[in-house]
Amino acid sequence: MRALLPYLKLFRHAKASLALGVILMITGLAAGIGLLSLSGWFLAATAIAGAGTLFNFFYPSAGVRGLAIGRTAARYFERLVTHDATFRILAKLRVQVFEKIIPLSPAVLNRYRNSDLLNRLVADVDTLDSLYLRLIAPFISASAVIIFMTIGLSFFSLPLALFIGGTLLILLLVMPPVFYRLGTRFGAKLTQSRARYREQFVEFIQAQAELLLFNASSALRDQLNRTEQNWQAYQRQESNLSGLSTALFMFFNGLLVVLTLWLAAATEFGSELEQFAFIALFTMSALAAFEILTPLGAAFLHIGQVIASAERVSDIVRQKPPVNFSGTQSAVKNSNVLFDVKQVTFRYPDRSQLALNRLDLQILRGTKVALLGKTGSGKSTLLQLLVRNYAPDSGEILFAEQPISAYSESALRAQMAVLTQRVHIFSDSLRNNLQLASRSILTELQISDVLNRVGLQHLAEQGPEQWLGDGGRPLSGGEQRRLGLARILLSDAPILLLDEPTEGLDRETERRMLRLIFEHAKEKTLIMVTHRLTEIERFDQIYVIDDSRLIENGRFDELMERENGLFKRLTARI
């Protein structure tokens, strides 16, 4: 239950609405009980009075109509108020969860599948709406209505009122906790099965083209069916227990009605005519009272899933970001040394192998720098540290002669344009995918020009409003990379960090893209990670990294003059 405490605190953002919802819920339940009780008394009294007796039926009939209208109105406005307040709280919760998720990218989020994150943000948060709508508000309302009903009936017979109220209170305190215990046995497993099914389903749909291409869909479909059957087994278990709770409440309802009828028959209410009318009143009150209890059994049975969903959301929210942007400095000094990496050592979380080992290097402002080395040598890791996706385990990185941690996130991001190995294409229009790179509104002429420059003329011809779809599925890998390069060309950031920008391109296209990059970076600082040697002689400085260490550095001609140097051996293999 402790897992629910952080989410209970969110109720303070809608205290008035939630309190009004409880009041309306109590009003609706009380009106429903009053309606059936008054109707029972009215019908019995009318039948006993007969046709030849004077009987004022105006007040009771007006009361019946008033309670019926009040019950309908109270339930309508209760649904309106409680659902509106709950949805507002869930919206606030989603924003809070998303704000917690953003600083975790990419270091922590790499441990989770995208489908899993989506399921936690949507389905698990949705499950938490039961916390107020099906648990807290009904329980408070049931307790209040039982007390009010007991007080109201005590004006006619205190022993009978205490018997009905005491019985209902005992059932309220005993039955929900019993079904809560039963529900916790499988609630977490049901939530996990649901999440696993949705993750597999999303991934199955996303990979449909590849699965059909390689004729591998049947195996994954069988796996999906097994997961679904497992999920349905837990759902059947929940349905069986839900049916049991309803059956037990109906049994106790019937038992209470019989006992109330028996005790009321032995109770003195006055005259013989009043006796029969009040027997009907108490019996109908006992019958109507179970309207407030029946939903609680199934609701508390569901609380195991609510707790499991809360724990899954908390698992994300409680993660600590690897980098804390606590710096406040926004101005960047115009220094000659842009980056100064001093004795930096770093290993990725949950990995024992060092990614960088006591790395030392300097990058001057306005220079064109190549980080060269084989796959896994630590080149991309250095870029991750320079953009502060991670922080070094030891050593220091200075940016414009200041510790890089001293800058605010917005100041640091404004200085850099980054092209990673994986270019993300959003499920949006071509225009909006390119607009990410520019602070000013892009014109159609600008979009067409940059697409033509990177060799995507066919996209330019189709227009900027064309829909690219999830992950840019209509585009090939090379086209996606060139679209990422188009974003770089549209950026006005003074520092360009490119990670394998020409990977997957043929040699002629690669040379053309590199010429575009150098032309755009003429007055900028360019840091490019690569393991290819095309146009390598154009860089002002080349750093050769191998096995997480800096092996050698210098200009192209300097490195070529070194006998048995690693760079020279690499060029000899071409």
CATH number reported for the structural domain that contains residue 525 in this entry? 3.40.50.300
pLDDT the model gives residue 272: 63
In this structure, the answer to whether residues 309 and 204 fall within a common structural domain is yes
Q: What digits encode the pLDDT tens for the residues 323-356?
A: 888 888 887 888 888 899 999 999 887 778 888 9
Q: What's the pLDDT score for residue 53?
A: 56
Q: Do 429 and 519 belong together in one domain?
A: yes
**149-162 per-position pLDDT tens digit:** 889 888 888 889 89
Q: What is the spatial distance between Cα 79 and Cα 63, in angstroms, rounded to a whole number? A: 24
Would 205 be classed as within a structural domain? yes
Both 251 and 355 in a single domain? no
DSSP β-ladder status, 495-499 and 525-530:
parallel
pLDDT beyond 70 at 216: yes
Predicted pLDDT of residue 497: 93
- What's the pLDDT score for residue 574? 52
How many domains does the structure of the chain reveal? 2
pLDDT > 70? residue 49: no
Whether residues 441 and 516 share a domain: the answer is: yes
Ranking 161-165, 271-275, 471-475 by mean pLDDT, the lowest is 271-275
Structure confidence by residue, pLDDT tens digits, 349-378: 777 888 898 999 999 999 999 998 888 888
Q: Any idea what the CATH number is for the domain that residue 248 is in? A: 1.20.1560.10
- The answer to whether position 129 is within a domain reads yes
Compute, in degrees rounded to 10, the torsion defined by CA atoms 567, 527, 541, 343. Answer: -80
Residue 273 has pLDDT above 70, yes or no: no
Q: What is the pLDDT of residues 373-408, one digit of tens each?
A: 888 888 888 998 998 888 898 999 999 888 998 888
Residue 212: per-residue pLDDT: 82
Looking at 317, 349, 364, which one is the last position of a domain?
317
Q: Is the pLDDT of residue 44 over 80?
A: no
Q: Which of 317, 345, 370 is the last residue of a domain?
A: 317
Q: What mean pLDDT is predicted for residues 290-307?
A: 79
pLDDT higher than 60, residue 94: yes
Residues 304 and 342 in one domain: no
Residue that the structure tokens 């020279």 belong to: 568
Q: Are residues 362 and 301 in the same domain?
A: no
Collapse the DSSP code of 188 into the 3-class scheme (helix H, G, I; strand E, B; otherwise coil) and give the result: helix
Residue 527 pLDDT exceeds 90: yes
Based on the domain organization, do 219 and 351 belong to the same domain?
A: no
Mean residue pLDDT across the chain: 84
Last residue of a domain, one of 317, 346, 370: 317
Integer CA distances (angstroms), 202 to 18, 230, 405, 472, in order: 35, 18, 38, 17
Residues 277 and 345 grouped into a single domain? no
Query: Does the pLDDT at position 275 exceed 90?
Result: no
Q: Which domain holds residue 508?
A: 337-572
| CA atoms lying within 13 Å on the CB side of residue 91 | 8
Q: Is residue 322 part of a domain?
A: no
The mean per-residue pLDDT over the stretch 163-181 comes to: 87
Same domain, 349 and 244: no
**Structural domain includes residue 374:** yes
Question: Could you tell me the sign of the dihedral formed by the alpha carbons of 423, 426, 430, 432, in that order?
Answer: negative
Domain assignment present for 529: yes
Residue 179's pLDDT band (cuts 50, 70, 90): confident
Task: Give percent of the chain with pLDDT exceeding 90.
Answer: 10
Q: Could you tell me if residue 328 is inside a domain?
A: no
In a domain, 331, yes or no: no
> Does 311 share its domain with 421?
no
| Preceding omega of 106 cis (within 30 degrees of 0) | yes
In a domain, 327, yes or no: no
According to the model, what pLDDT value does residue 311 have? 81
